Amino acid sequence: MAERDHRRRARLIHLAGMAAALSFALACSGHVVHHPPALIPFDFENPPCRPAERPRPPTAGQEVVEIRYLGAAGLYLRWREDSILLGPYFSNPGLLRVLFGHWRADRPAIERGLAGLPLAEVEAILAGHSHYDHIGDLPPILERTPRATVYVNESGVRALTYYSTARVKTLDGSAGWVWLLRGAEKRPIRFLAVSSEHAPQVDHHLWAAGDLSGPWHEPWTAHRFHQLKAGRTYALVIDLMSRDLQRVLYRLYYQDAASSKDVGVPPPFTGIDEHPYDLAVLCIASYDKVARGPQPESILAALRPRHVLVTHYDDFLRSQEHRVRFVSLLTDEKADRYLRAINESLGSAPAGAGPLNPVCGASGPRWTMPMPGAWALFSPASSP
């Protein structure tokens, strides 16, 4: 008993220290992308626009890749009749609840974040790791996505045991391409999990590191936020295929945590699997804390994407309903440096690589930083 009390006191002291550090960090975040590197300055806390409704393709009958930025690195992605969610999270509890409180989903925030999406048609939900800001809203979201299979690391699988076992599959140990299925039928979306890492956050400390030791057989309300451990971290290569499933028409790279140089880099592809990266969805949070860098230069040199979608910039410890601030320690200057590095690393923009529609958010020649809720349409026809 004495040893358990000692561990509990040590844990509380550690959390109190984290609370103090994070409280300081919250005061050291920005909200403006200046000019340069943006085409025009953009203030996320006082935006000059609001995310619009789902746009129609610029040309009737044109096939497009539809992406909606959900916040906290989350995406909705649709290709023809098939759609997936990546790390959907909206609840954004305050700092004290995250450090000391039990899990609770903000259902009104989830409803707002998913408004207008045909959730019954979503066929997969993917997450690169199992921190609460990537899988913390999955219990209520699973209720609204009846045919979706969840792909997450083993720690996430264990956490979701109470809610489903048949619909949750592990990324740990997976090898090769995984195809989306509708029944036994292959759909024209496949993905490849690439072993990666999670950059540390405050004072080079990775919060909630490690794995769950065993499955959770009770509701998450019995657990605290910090008990959702990160587990192994993955980046994802996502291919959108031709109707005969023989050709890659559009290739995305997705990360929900910044990684060091040479980490999270996909293997080279040959033959029918060879295709350039049309879009890299990159996590800006903690990019300057990676062990080896610099980032984003290193990952851009490996991928050479035609365009970059910059995500996970928005502070998930605050409500994003009306105004957006950057995550802790991401100052205006740091955001500008990251975006300038994209422009300098990739050079002049190829025609047709960026969004086809006006996107509410900051943008440059080679990158787009959308507001939560904003849509971006991309054309696979622009791929070489």
Residue-level pLDDT at 327: 95
Does residue 13 surpass a pLDDT of 50?
A: no
Residue-level pLDDT at 240: 98
SS3 label, residue 94: coil
Residue 367 CA to residue 349 CA, distance in Å, equals: 9
Lowest mean pLDDT among 24-28, 97-101, 163-167, 362-366: 24-28
Q: Is 281 exposed, middle or buried (CB count within 10 Å of its CB: 0-12, 13-18, 19+)?
A: buried
What is the DSSP secondary-structure string of 113-146? HHTT--GGGEEEEE-SS--HHHHTTHHHHHHH-T
116: how many CB neighbours lie within 10 A of its CB?
11
Instruction: Tell me what pLDDT residue 61 has.
Output: 82
For 129, other C-beta atoms within 10 Å of its C-beta total 27
When the pLDDT of each residue in the chain is averaged and rounded to a whole number, the result is 92
* DSSP symbols for 230-290: --S-EEEEEEEE-TTS-SEEEEEEE-SS---TTSSPPPP--GGG----SEEEEE-TTGGG-
Look at residue 358 and give its three-state secondary structure.
coil
pLDDT at 206 over 50: yes
Checking if the pLDDT of 296 tops 70, the result is yes
What number is the average pLDDT over the span 175-195?
96
Helix (H, G, I), strand (E, B) or coil at 42: strand
Question: What sign has the CA pseudo-torsion 211, 178, 381, 277?
Answer: positive
Do you find a cis peptide bond into 372, omega within 30 degrees of 0?
no
The DSSP 8-state label assigned to residue 223 in this structure reads S
Q: Is the pLDDT of residue 83 over 60?
A: yes
pLDDT band at 27 (very low <50, low <70, confident <90, very high): low
Residue of higher predicted confidence among 384 and 325: 325
Long-range (24+ apart) CB contacts under 8 A made by 2-7 are: none
User: Residues 244-282: pLDDT tens digits?
Assistant: 999 999 999 999 999 999 999 999 999 989 999 999 999
Burial environment of residue 329 by CB neighbours within 10 A (0 to 12, 13 to 18, 19 or more): buried
Domain count, the chain: 1
The three-state secondary structure class of 152 is strand
DSSP-assigned states of every residue in 175-218:
-S-EEEEETTEEEEEEEEEEE------GGG--TT-S--SS---S
Percent of the chain exceeding pLDDT 90 equals: 83
SS3 call for 77? strand
Terminal alpha carbon distance of the chain: 66
Dump pLDDT digits (tens) for 219-247.
Answer: 999 999 999 999 999 999 999 999 999 99
Total-model pTM: 0.93
Looking at residues 122-140, what average pLDDT do you find?
98
- Tell me how crowded residue 344 is: count the other CB atoms within 10 A of its CB: 12
pLDDT exceeds cutoff 90 at 33: yes
pLDDT for position 88: 98
Per-residue model confidence (pLDDT) at position 323:
85
Instruction: Output the domain CATH number for residue 37.
Output: 3.60.15.10
Does the pLDDT value for residue 184 go beyond 50? yes
Identify which has the larger pLDDT, 326 or 201: 326
18 pLDDT above the threshold of 70: no
Share of the chain above pLDDT 70, in %: 91
Q: How far is it, in rounded angstroms, from Cα 282 to Cα 73?
A: 8
Mean pLDDT on 180-199: 97
> At 145, phi and psi to the nearest 5?
-125, 70
| Residue range(s) defining the domain that contains residue 44 | 2-382
- pLDDT tier at 36 (50, 70, 90 boundaries)? very high
